Amino acid sequence: IQHNHSLVVIRDTFKQQPGRFLVYYDERWDCKLFLNFKTVNGDNETAILERVSASLQIPKENISAKYLTSRVQEKYSVSHDETRVYNHRLYEMVIHSFTDDGVHYFWMTISEMQKDSNIMTKNMDVVDFVNETIISRS
């Protein structure tokens, strides 16, 4: 079974530090992760915009999105205690104005993520995917 998920990459454009990305702490995974949502059939981009808007409590008019690419990856799911096949669709979003009212989040560089053994143990493939797709294009 393939599990379809959309990953959302948001750069820190507010403090002029575009090398940092928004991550949140996921209790089920006990790990900091990029925002991620189950991919929906139909207009997935609109669904993702609505989910990011609700999660961060930002009007969706203040967010723009761009689909970048997708990758099928086999990885261990901590929350399900099994290896699964994921189809990760990668979106880059820009938030035009930001408040601190939504989900508890952190700004981290890819380097900081790579130095975090918990993130690397549980989500190295996603960090590598973002690094290869986003950082290499900059």
The Cα–Cα gap between 134 and 91 comes to: 10
| pTM, to two decimals | 0.85
What's the gap between Cα 75 and its chain centre?
Answer: 16
Are the CB atoms for 49 and 37 separated by under 8 Å?
Answer: no
Higher pLDDT, 57 or 138: 57
What pLDDT is recorded for position 93?
94
What pLDDT is recorded for position 40?
94
DSSP letter assigned to residue 136: G
**17 pLDDT exceeds 80?**
no
What pLDDT is recorded for position 136?
66
| pLDDT tens-digit series, residues 41-83 | 989 999 999 999 998 888 999 999 999 999 999 998 888 899 9
